[in-house]
Protein backbone atom coordinates (compact mmCIF):
# COMPACT_ATOMS: atom_id res chain seq x y z
CA UNK A 1 0.00 0.00 0.00
CA UNK A 2 1.15 3.54 -0.74
CA UNK A 3 1.48 6.38 1.75
CA UNK A 4 -1.45 8.09 0.06
CA UNK A 5 -3.64 5.01 0.50
CA UNK A 6 -2.81 4.80 4.19
CA UNK A 7 -3.58 8.50 4.50
CA UNK A 8 -7.02 7.93 2.96
CA UNK A 9 -7.70 5.06 5.36
CA UNK A 10 -6.64 7.09 8.38
CA UNK A 11 -8.84 10.02 7.31
CA UNK A 12 -11.80 7.65 6.92
CA UNK A 13 -11.16 6.24 10.40
CA UNK A 14 -10.96 9.75 11.88
CA UNK A 15 -14.20 10.81 10.18
CA UNK A 16 -15.96 7.78 11.66
CA UNK A 17 -14.48 8.20 15.15
CA UNK A 18 -12.74 4.84 15.06
CA UNK A 19 -10.18 4.78 17.89
CA UNK A 20 -6.61 3.65 17.49
CA UNK A 21 -6.66 1.61 20.70
CA UNK A 22 -9.07 0.58 23.45
CA UNK A 23 -8.51 -0.81 26.92
CA UNK A 24 -9.29 -4.49 27.34
CA UNK A 25 -11.37 -3.89 30.48
CA UNK A 26 -11.67 -1.77 33.60
CA UNK A 27 -9.32 -4.13 35.41
CA UNK A 28 -6.95 -4.80 32.54
CA UNK A 29 -5.58 -1.47 31.35
CA UNK A 30 -3.61 -3.05 28.54
CA UNK A 31 -4.51 -1.27 25.29
CA UNK A 32 -5.33 -3.42 22.28
CA UNK A 33 -5.33 -2.13 18.71
CA UNK A 34 -8.54 -1.21 16.90
CA UNK A 35 -7.33 0.90 13.98
CA UNK A 36 -3.82 2.24 14.66
CA UNK A 37 -2.73 5.27 12.65
CA UNK A 38 0.64 3.63 12.16
CA UNK A 39 0.90 2.09 8.69
CA UNK A 40 3.25 -0.72 9.73
CA UNK A 41 1.15 -1.72 12.74
CA UNK A 42 -2.13 -1.56 10.81
CA UNK A 43 -0.76 -3.52 7.87
CA UNK A 44 0.53 -6.28 10.15
CA UNK A 45 -2.77 -6.78 12.00
CA UNK A 46 -4.45 -10.18 11.61
CA UNK A 47 -7.70 -9.26 13.36
CA UNK A 48 -9.73 -6.16 12.57
CA UNK A 49 -12.69 -5.50 14.88
CA UNK A 50 -14.88 -2.64 13.64
CA UNK A 51 -18.22 -3.81 14.97
CA UNK A 52 -20.80 -1.40 16.38
CA UNK A 53 -19.19 1.82 15.15
CA UNK A 54 -22.34 2.91 13.26
CA UNK A 55 -20.39 2.89 10.01
CA UNK A 56 -22.42 3.85 6.93
CA UNK A 57 -19.70 2.65 4.58
CA UNK A 58 -16.63 0.43 4.54
CA UNK A 59 -13.56 1.86 2.86
CA UNK A 60 -12.52 -0.22 -0.17
CA UNK A 61 -8.84 0.07 0.80
CA UNK A 62 -9.44 -2.27 3.74
CA UNK A 63 -9.32 -4.91 1.03
CA UNK A 64 -5.59 -4.23 0.74
CA UNK A 65 -4.82 -5.13 4.36
CA UNK A 66 -3.67 -8.53 3.17
CA UNK A 67 -2.64 -9.92 6.58
CA UNK A 68 -6.15 -9.74 8.03
CA UNK A 69 -7.49 -13.19 8.91
CA UNK A 70 -10.52 -12.13 10.94
CA UNK A 71 -12.75 -9.19 10.01
CA UNK A 72 -15.70 -8.23 12.21
CA UNK A 73 -17.79 -5.40 10.77
CA UNK A 74 -21.08 -6.46 12.31
CA UNK A 75 -23.57 -4.11 13.94
CA UNK A 76 -23.03 -1.26 11.47
CA UNK A 77 -25.34 0.70 9.16
CA UNK A 78 -23.82 0.17 5.72
CA UNK A 79 -26.05 -1.42 3.06
CA UNK A 80 -23.35 -2.99 0.93
CA UNK A 81 -19.72 -3.96 1.17
CA UNK A 82 -17.15 -3.06 -1.48
CA UNK A 83 -16.02 -5.80 -3.83
CA UNK A 84 -12.44 -5.04 -2.80
CA UNK A 85 -13.10 -6.67 0.57
CA UNK A 86 -13.33 -9.98 -1.24
CA UNK A 87 -9.69 -9.57 -2.26
CA UNK A 88 -8.38 -10.23 1.25
CA UNK A 89 -6.24 -13.31 0.46
CA UNK A 90 -5.87 -14.62 4.02
CA UNK A 91 -9.32 -13.87 5.42
CA UNK A 92 -10.69 -16.83 7.39
CA UNK A 93 -13.54 -15.29 9.42
CA UNK A 94 -16.00 -12.64 8.22
CA UNK A 95 -18.76 -11.35 10.49
CA UNK A 96 -21.53 -9.27 8.88
CA UNK A 97 -24.18 -9.93 11.52
CA UNK A 98 -26.63 -7.17 12.49
CA UNK A 99 -25.83 -5.08 9.42
CA UNK A 100 -28.23 -3.53 6.91
CA UNK A 101 -26.67 -5.14 3.86
CA UNK A 102 -29.06 -5.89 1.00
CA UNK A 103 -26.66 -8.00 -1.03
CA UNK A 104 -23.28 -9.70 -0.95
CA UNK A 105 -20.64 -9.08 -3.63
CA UNK A 106 -20.77 -11.50 -6.54
CA UNK A 107 -17.03 -12.01 -6.18
CA UNK A 108 -17.33 -13.35 -2.62
CA UNK A 109 -15.93 -16.64 -3.93
CA UNK A 110 -12.53 -14.91 -4.16
CA UNK A 111 -12.23 -15.32 -0.39
CA UNK A 112 -10.63 -18.67 -1.05
CA UNK A 113 -9.44 -19.19 2.54
CA UNK A 114 -12.70 -18.22 4.25
CA UNK A 115 -13.72 -20.70 6.96
CA UNK A 116 -16.53 -18.84 8.74
CA UNK A 117 -19.22 -16.52 7.37
CA UNK A 118 -21.61 -14.95 9.90
CA UNK A 119 -24.87 -13.43 8.63
CA UNK A 120 -26.95 -13.28 11.79
CA UNK A 121 -29.99 -10.98 11.73
CA UNK A 122 -29.16 -9.48 8.34
CA UNK A 123 -32.87 -8.93 7.76
CA UNK A 124 -32.46 -6.86 4.57
CA UNK A 125 -30.54 -9.62 2.83
CA UNK A 126 -33.02 -11.71 0.82
CA UNK A 127 -30.75 -13.76 -1.44
CA UNK A 128 -27.24 -15.11 -1.52
CA UNK A 129 -25.05 -14.96 -4.62
CA UNK A 130 -24.73 -18.34 -6.33
CA UNK A 131 -20.96 -17.96 -6.17
CA UNK A 132 -21.07 -18.52 -2.40
CA UNK A 133 -20.96 -22.28 -3.03
CA UNK A 134 -17.42 -21.85 -4.38
CA UNK A 135 -16.09 -21.12 -0.89
CA UNK A 136 -14.54 -24.58 -0.70
CA UNK A 137 -12.84 -24.07 2.68
CA UNK A 138 -15.97 -22.79 4.42
CA UNK A 139 -16.66 -24.71 7.64
CA UNK A 140 -19.31 -22.55 9.31
CA UNK A 141 -22.21 -20.71 7.65
CA UNK A 142 -24.59 -18.77 9.88
CA UNK A 143 -27.81 -17.58 8.19
CA UNK A 144 -30.07 -16.47 11.06
CA UNK A 145 -31.63 -14.00 8.72
CA UNK A 146 -35.46 -13.62 9.11
CA UNK A 147 -36.12 -12.64 5.48
CA UNK A 148 -33.96 -14.92 3.37
CA UNK A 149 -36.07 -16.08 0.42
CA UNK A 150 -33.94 -18.93 -0.84
CA UNK A 151 -30.77 -20.92 -0.34
CA UNK A 152 -28.53 -21.66 -3.36
CA UNK A 153 -29.61 -25.00 -4.80
CA UNK A 154 -26.00 -26.12 -5.02
CA UNK A 155 -25.24 -25.53 -1.34
CA UNK A 156 -24.12 -29.15 -1.21
CA UNK A 157 -20.94 -28.09 -3.00
CA UNK A 158 -19.64 -26.63 0.28
CA UNK A 159 -17.83 -29.90 0.87
CA UNK A 160 -15.99 -28.85 4.04
CA UNK A 161 -18.98 -27.31 5.82
CA UNK A 162 -19.31 -28.56 9.40
CA UNK A 163 -21.80 -26.10 10.90
CA UNK A 164 -24.89 -24.81 9.06
CA UNK A 165 -27.39 -22.59 10.86
CA UNK A 166 -30.58 -21.81 8.98
CA UNK A 167 -32.82 -20.92 11.90
CA UNK A 168 -35.31 -18.05 12.01
CA UNK A 169 -35.72 -17.56 8.26
CA UNK A 170 -39.44 -16.79 8.22
CA UNK A 171 -39.71 -16.37 4.43
CA UNK A 172 -37.68 -19.44 3.47
CA UNK A 173 -39.93 -22.02 1.80
CA UNK A 174 -37.66 -24.98 1.12
CA UNK A 175 -34.34 -26.58 1.90
CA UNK A 176 -32.35 -27.62 -1.18
CA UNK A 177 -32.08 -31.34 -1.91
CA UNK A 178 -28.32 -30.95 -2.23
CA UNK A 179 -28.04 -30.48 1.54
CA UNK A 180 -27.52 -34.24 1.65
CA UNK A 181 -24.17 -33.76 -0.11
CA UNK A 182 -22.69 -31.98 2.92
CA UNK A 183 -20.90 -35.14 4.04
CA UNK A 184 -18.81 -33.41 6.71
CA UNK A 185 -21.69 -31.58 8.38
CA UNK A 186 -21.69 -32.02 12.16
CA UNK A 187 -24.16 -29.37 13.29
CA UNK A 188 -27.41 -28.41 11.55
CA UNK A 189 -30.03 -25.96 12.81
CA UNK A 190 -33.37 -25.71 10.98
CA UNK A 191 -35.62 -24.45 13.78
CA UNK A 192 -38.01 -21.47 13.66
CA UNK A 193 -38.57 -21.68 9.90
CA UNK A 194 -42.31 -21.10 9.72
CA UNK A 195 -42.53 -21.34 5.92
CA UNK A 196 -40.97 -24.80 5.72
CA UNK A 197 -43.11 -27.87 6.33
CA UNK A 198 -40.74 -30.68 5.46
CA UNK A 199 -37.12 -31.60 4.91
CA UNK A 200 -35.61 -33.22 1.81
CA UNK A 201 -35.12 -36.98 2.03
CA UNK A 202 -31.46 -36.43 1.22
CA UNK A 203 -30.95 -35.20 4.78
CA UNK A 204 -30.75 -38.88 5.76
CA UNK A 205 -27.37 -38.98 4.00
CA UNK A 206 -25.80 -36.84 6.72
CA UNK A 207 -24.00 -39.40 8.89
CA UNK A 208 -21.68 -37.17 10.94
CA UNK A 209 -24.34 -35.04 12.65
CA UNK A 210 -23.68 -34.39 16.34
CA UNK A 211 -26.17 -31.54 16.85
CA UNK A 212 -29.50 -31.19 15.03
CA UNK A 213 -32.47 -28.92 15.70
CA UNK A 214 -35.67 -28.50 13.71
CA UNK A 215 -39.13 -26.98 13.98
CA UNK A 216 -41.73 -29.19 15.71
CA UNK A 217 -44.28 -28.60 12.93
CA UNK A 218 -42.09 -30.30 10.32
CA UNK A 219 -43.69 -33.34 8.68
CA UNK A 220 -41.10 -36.03 9.38
CA UNK A 221 -41.06 -39.09 7.11
CA UNK A 222 -40.47 -42.66 8.25
CA UNK A 223 -36.94 -42.66 6.83
CA UNK A 224 -36.16 -39.38 8.56
CA UNK A 225 -37.36 -40.77 11.89
CA UNK A 226 -35.04 -43.75 11.42
CA UNK A 227 -32.20 -41.37 10.61
CA UNK A 228 -32.89 -39.33 13.75
CA UNK A 229 -33.05 -42.54 15.79
CA UNK A 230 -29.63 -43.57 14.46
CA UNK A 231 -28.26 -40.17 15.40
CA UNK A 232 -29.59 -40.54 18.93
CA UNK A 233 -28.09 -44.01 19.15
CA UNK A 234 -24.74 -42.41 18.33
CA UNK A 235 -25.17 -39.86 21.14
CA UNK A 236 -26.12 -36.90 18.95
CA UNK A 237 -28.02 -33.99 20.50
CA UNK A 238 -31.44 -33.56 18.87
CA UNK A 239 -33.96 -30.85 19.70
CA UNK A 240 -37.31 -29.66 18.37
CA UNK A 241 -39.61 -27.27 20.14
CA UNK A 242 -39.48 -24.12 22.21
CA UNK A 243 -41.50 -22.38 24.89
CA UNK A 244 -44.40 -21.96 22.45
CA UNK A 245 -44.33 -25.35 20.76
CA UNK A 246 -43.58 -28.52 22.71
CA UNK A 247 -41.29 -31.22 21.42
CA UNK A 248 -43.10 -33.95 19.40
CA UNK A 249 -43.96 -36.98 21.52
CA UNK A 250 -42.27 -39.43 19.14
CA UNK A 251 -38.99 -37.54 19.60
CA UNK A 252 -39.35 -37.44 23.37
CA UNK A 253 -39.96 -41.20 23.34
CA UNK A 254 -36.86 -41.82 21.24
CA UNK A 255 -34.77 -39.69 23.57
CA UNK A 256 -35.96 -41.73 26.54
CA UNK A 257 -35.06 -44.91 24.67
CA UNK A 258 -31.46 -43.81 24.14
CA UNK A 259 -30.99 -41.87 27.35
The model's pTM is 0.94
* 4 C-beta neighbours (distance < 10 Å), count: 8
**pLDDT at residue number 225:** 96
The predicted-structure confidence for 134-154, as pLDDT tens digits, reads as follows 999 999 999 998 888 889 999
Q: Read out DSSP for 136-183?
A: TT--EEE---SS-----TTGGG-TT--EEE-TT-TT-----GGGGG-T
For residues 235 and 254, give the distance between their C-alpha atoms in angstroms, rounded to a whole number: 12
d(CA 108, CA 253): 44
Burial of 128 (0-12, 13-18, 19+ CB in 10 A): buried
Render pLDDT for 3-61 as a digit per residue (tens, 0 to 9).
999 999 999 999 999 999 987 767 777 888 999 999 999 999 999 999 999 999 999 99
Find, among 135, 138, 60, 141, the residue nearest to 96 by Cα. 141
Count Cβ atoms below 10 Å from residue 161 Cβ, excluding itself.
27
C-alpha closest to that of 137 among 159, 163, 164: 159
Alpha-carbon distance of 217 to 198, in angstroms, equals 9
Read off the pLDDT of residues 62-106 as tens digits, 9 standing for 90 and up. Answer: 999 999 999 999 999 999 999 999 999 999 999 999 999 999 999
Span 155-177, mean pLDDT? Answer: 93
In DSSP terms, 120 is beta-bridged to none
**What's the chain's length in residues?**
259
- Computed from CA positions of residues 172, 175, 178, 181, in that sequence, does the dihedral angle turn out positive or negative? positive
Range 41-46, long-range pairs (CB < 8 A, 24+ positions): 42/6, 42/9, 43/1, 43/67, 46/70, 46/90
Strand pairing category for 31-33 and 47-49: unpaired
**Percent of the chain scoring above 90 in pLDDT:** 85
What is the pLDDT confidence band of residue 111, given thresholds at 50, 70 and 90?
A: very high
Strands (E), 19-150: 21-23, 31-33, 47-49, 70-72, 93-95, 116-118, 140-142
- pLDDT surpassing 90 at residue 163: yes
DSSP for 177-239 reads: GGGGG-TT--EEEE-S-TT-----GGGGG----SEEEE-TTS---HHHHHHHHHHHHTT-EEE
The Cα 16–Cα 134 span in angstroms is 34
Closest CA to 111 of 61, 71, 169: 71
- Residue 163 and residue 189 in contact, taking contact as beta carbons nearer than 8 Å: no
Structural domains present in the chain: 126-258 (3.80.10.10)
Helix spans in 38-160 (H):
39-44
Amino acid sequence: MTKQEFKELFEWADENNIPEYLLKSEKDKTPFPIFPRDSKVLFSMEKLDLRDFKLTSIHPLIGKLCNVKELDIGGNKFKEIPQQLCELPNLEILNLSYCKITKLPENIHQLSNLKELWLGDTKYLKRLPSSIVKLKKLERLVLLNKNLHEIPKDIGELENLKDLRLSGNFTLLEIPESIGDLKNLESLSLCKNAGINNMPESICMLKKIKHFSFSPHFEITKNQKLWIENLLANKAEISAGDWRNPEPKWLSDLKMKYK
